[in-house]
Amino acid sequence: MTRTRRRRLLLVTCLLVGLSGACALMLTAFKQDMLYFHEPSAIAAGNVPINTRFRVGGLVATGSVERPGNGLSVHFAISDCHATVPVRYRGTLPDLFREGQGVIAYGKLDGRGAFVADRILAKHDSTYMSPDTARALNAGTSDACMPANMQASR
Partner 1 sequence: MHVRLGHDEKTVVSLTMDKGVKQRFHRLGSSPYFYDASARWAIWLAVPAVICIAYAVIAGLVYVPPDYQQGDVFRILYIHVPSAWLSLFGYTAMAVAGVVALVWRLKLAEIFIAAAAPVGASFTFLALVTGAIWGEPTWGTYWVWDARLTSELILLFLYLGVIALHRSIASPRAAGRACALLSIVGVINVPIIHYSVVWWTTLHQGATLGLTGGSNMDADMLWPLLAGALGFTCLFGWLTLWGMRVQLLWRERRSRWVMKRIAHG
How far, in Å, CA of 46 to CA of 104, rounded? 19
Q: Which is nearer to partner 1, 111 or 131 (CB)?
A: 131
Q: Alpha carbon 7 to chain centroid distance?
A: 46
DSSP state of 66: B
Q: If DSSP states are collapsed to H, E and C, what string results for 30-58? A: CHHHHCCCECHHHHHCCCCCCCCCEEEEE
DSSP state of 111: S
Is 128 assigned to a binding site? yes
- How many other C-beta atoms can be found within 10 angstroms of the C-beta atom of residue 101? 16
| Contact string 83-122 vs partner 1 (x = CB under 8 A) | ----------xxxx-------x---------------xxx
Q: Which is nearer to partner 1, 63 or 140 (CB)?
A: 140
* Least distance (Å) between residue 96 CB and partner 1: 6
* Least distance (Å) between residue 110 CB and partner 1: 23
Q: Which is nearer to partner 1, 111 or 128 (CB)?
A: 128
Residues forming a β-bridge with 57: 104
- One-letter amino acid for residue 150 of the chain: M
| Contact string 6-45 vs partner 1 (x = CB under 8 A) | --xx--x--xx--xx--x---x---x--xxxxxx------
Q: Which residues bind partner 1 (CB under 8 A)?
A: 5, 8-9, 12, 15-16, 19-20, 23, 27, 31, 34-39, 57, 93-96, 104, 120-134, 139-140, 148-153
